[in-house]
A and B are shown apart, each in its own frame.
Chain A
């Protein structure tokens, strides 16, 4: 038997990558992007980033909220899709779901009042269980949702407004700690943990009313015009009282969606089959073509990349939700025309940046000088390039957020390796030609390289840089205190729903500054706080988007952060599947329109 040159090349790549895989499987976070292998280089993607529709996200009408979902041309029902990924889902009880990966899986069996419908005209917020995206007549303080007809749980019992109320009430139970807490806090006065203990002792939550079987009314303490976006989070998915197994519900939730769980073996596999009581006419979001799903866990990115490239046997009908192309194989995949046809690229909602501690760096000119001197392109190359790391960012909000407006106040894209002369001029204006700054970083091999580049670039501009390595395990504990002793440190954030209120407020509202709170730059500018309040009151989503974009500019004028990346995703899937799409809301591959060819 002969081995073709392509196979020989692939074998050589496996040898190299295999050795690298075990040496470098540490994941990033807290201090920089994932450590990468030797691919290096900002490779040019051969497919456009699939993010165009996102910034044009709109709020759909009642007509948009009716099922079935927009059909995929050429798609056919039936078959089994295999899903391979590194990790099992850490939570499946909707109340405990926050991670995008868990949310993607949950979309197959958990439905919320609202959700996102993808179509040729972009992404629309639509009613999922509800007939529309809800109505409010008092600026977002009281919200009313009406449930669709024909909604059923997997056992055929109807989904009622009482189920929705119960699902909200159990969010207050002591064992529910991992999911989002927005709605819980908005419905009660003071600390929600003290205001209500959950439904298990027979107590009810008055702030949620159910005048009839179809209607749910939320009475919030303050106006929240984008509550309908909030309720699209999996964390606010429906749970039936009769099937609530409390802590155990996390392993096997009861389905309101197109599939039901047949078996779930932790860390090994999850099997789904068709839920016969799901009616596609009620669902504008999910096409749900396959008859079954088999999910396999414990497959490292290196392994899944090899399997997708080999594209043999059952892997032909395999996809992944989260595993990206292994860093060591990116260049190889980019040069493989056949594999590129089966690739997915896009911008995730995750943005990364370097916080500039405004409590210590009090002069805005000094902060602006740092931004001017920043070696953005060099850092991107060290991290592995645009395809598997991210696009260089110049704003707070990512292009995946409604209202995003591109701007580049500091000319980063024009001079991506920094402008030391302009930085020097700003330092001169500040009267501090040689300020000392303390840069704290995660002590990982990649971050060590990045630190050298940052130190070099800032030194050229006149800064004295003191680099402080931190233990990756305790990075956030070190930078968390408001009185920390560092001037510059990495951070990352993903909007919980694609509006500015969650992309901007948690990070830059000066009234939220506290130890370990998410405002790590400690920015507290009254004008920005007021602008946040004003944007939060706008009920029209498009108008609110414009207001948030204006807040974005104000923050960047203050140079509270040096934006790093709009994170990118680059993944593969098997040749036997169609309809595999990138989901810009979750930032990974979507299972909703997939079909077996």
Chain B
């Protein structure tokens, strides 16, 4: 197990290095000069040259990448922004704040949205999927299946403003969505994020309902399930201890990927509800051609995917004792 984890972590570091290098060099393939963003309306060539020097852009690309990479461990000092302590991912071209600090500041928002939505998604998605499988072909199955198709067809930017309009503006049942730190006010944190959780989960829950139903139906037709039934086990035991356990692996796999994607930034949800998370940072970084921030949020997304993949691999061994981590 220990060797497995160490080996996967080293692999993760290599993947992150490759992703950062590809992002860095691809950015400079765009024929646009980021230095112009720092130059006033009447931008003289001397000023532009000075800015490029201030930003370290007068060095060759490989040197610039090396400086960025070493800055993570040693910190940097840029004329345009001042000193940046390690771990330094540089300064945002758009907001002039340290990228690492900006990501750390935004991360709790994205984590809060993700965790809350994940709980709703898993609870409702799996339960309704199991009910549909249990009641296969019956009215409850049809209701669950039809609802999931409708849910999967909806979009956050469509449902979000509508829910806010009715629940917040018209009825005043809930406050306008925003982020209040859990540590400051747990109740406020919950109430202010309830609408984003519910709206985000409508779309994802539908997918999990359909997937759970599908794999459960598949599992229920497996030989080992039939054998269990033949041995006289109760329907509930067969369903929950045998079929469900077999269905967990694909669900955990997809959930790991979805969770990582959400942690990398719930872009549309954050934009719709004006939540200042990683997703909003990512959108702004693209809009502003903000290389340091773009690199930072890309690495966060990559890190989440790589780490959660490792966690999913570990969970395989827990769910299915036949899987051995070598």
State the A residues within 8 Å of B (CB). Answer: 1, 3, 7, 10-11, 14-15, 17-19, 21-22, 88, 90-91, 98, 174-175, 177-181, 191, 193-194, 246-248, 250-251, 265-268, 296, 298-300, 303, 306, 310, 312-313, 471, 473-474, 477, 496, 506, 516, 518
Instruction: Give chain B residues whose Cβ lies under 8 Å from the Cβ of A174.
Output: 50, 54, 79
Q: Are A177 and B31 in contact (CB under 8 A)?
A: no
Q: Are B38 and A177 in contact (CB under 8 A)?
A: yes
B28 CB-CB contact with A under 8 Å:
no
Least Cβ–Cβ distance between B122 and chain A, in angstroms: 27
Q: Are B95 and A90 in contact (CB under 8 A)?
A: yes
Q: Are A178 and B50 in contact (CB under 8 A)?
A: no
Instruction: Give chain A residues whose Cβ lies under 8 Å from the Cβ of B50.
Output: 174, 177, 193
From B39, B160, B171, B268, contact of A177 by CB (8 A)? B39
Given contacts A15-B158, A267-B276, 16 further A-B contacts (CB under 8 A): A1-B171, A14-B162, A14-B165, A18-B160, A19-B155, A19-B158, A22-B272, A90-B95, A175-B80, A177-B38, A179-B40, A180-B40, A247-B96, A266-B97, A267-B284, A312-B169
Q: Are A18 and B47 in contact (CB under 8 A)?
A: no
A247-B280 CB under 8 A given contacts A181-B44, A312-B169, A473-B30: no
State the B residues within 8 Å of A (CB). Answer: 30-33, 38-44, 46-47, 50-51, 54, 79-82, 94-97, 102, 105, 155, 157-158, 160-162, 164-166, 168-172, 176, 268, 271-272, 274, 276, 280-281, 284, 289
Residue of B nearest to A473 (CB): B32
From A10, A250, A506, contact of B165 by CB (8 A)? A10
Instruction: Give chain A residues whose Cβ lies under 8 Å from the Cβ of B162.
Output: 11, 14-15, 18
Give me the 9 closest cross-chain CB pairs, A-B, nearest first: A247-B82, A310-B169, A18-B161, A14-B161, A22-B157, A266-B97, A193-B46, A266-B95, A268-B276
A481 vs B324: C-alpha distance when bound (angstroms): 64
A22 vs B157: C-alpha distance when bound (angstroms): 7
Instruction: Give chain B residues whose Cβ lies under 8 Å from the Cβ of A251.
Output: 96-97
From A21, A175, A312, contact of B157 by CB (8 A)? A21
Instruction: Give chain A residues whose Cβ lies under 8 Å from the Cβ of B42.
Output: 180-181, 506, 518
Q: Are A177 and B54 in contact (CB under 8 A)?
A: yes
Least Cβ–Cβ distance between A326 and chain B, in angstroms: 12
Instruction: Give chain A residues whose Cβ lies under 8 Å from the Cβ of B95.
Output: 88, 90, 266-267
Q: Are A496 and B41 in contact (CB under 8 A)?
A: yes
A266 vs B105: C-alpha distance when bound (angstroms): 10
Instruction: Give chain B residues whose Cβ lies under 8 Å from the Cβ of A266.
Output: 95, 97, 102, 105
Residue of B nearest to A310 (CB): B169
Q: Are A474 and B31 in contact (CB under 8 A)?
A: yes
A178-B38 CB under 8 A given contacts A299-B274, A516-B43: yes
Instruction: Give chain B residues whose Cβ lies under 8 Å from the Cβ of A265.
Output: 105
Q: List 9 A-B contacts (CB under 8 A).
A: A7-B170, A21-B157, A90-B94, A91-B96, A177-B47, A178-B39, A193-B50, A474-B31, A516-B43
Instruction: Give chain A residues whose Cβ lies under 8 Å from the Cβ of B105.
Output: 265-266
A447 vs B280: C-alpha distance when bound (angstroms): 27
Residue of A nearest to B175 (CB): A313
A17 vs B280: C-alpha distance when bound (angstroms): 20
A177 vs B39: C-alpha distance when bound (angstroms): 6
Residue of A nearest to B268 (CB): A22
A267 vs B109: C-alpha distance when bound (angstroms): 13
Least Cβ–Cβ distance between A197 and chain B, in angstroms: 11
Residue of B nearest to A477 (CB): B31
Q: Are B165 and A310 in contact (CB under 8 A)?
A: yes
Instruction: Give chain B residues whose Cβ lies under 8 Å from the Cβ of A313.
Output: 176
Q: Are A191 and B38 in contact (CB under 8 A)?
A: no
A299 vs B40: C-alpha distance when bound (angstroms): 26
Q: Are B276 and A306 in contact (CB under 8 A)?
A: no
Q: Are B40 and A177 in contact (CB under 8 A)?
A: yes
Most buried by A among B51, B96, B162, B280: B96
A193 vs B48: C-alpha distance when bound (angstroms): 11
Least Cβ–Cβ distance between A244 and chain B, in angstroms: 13
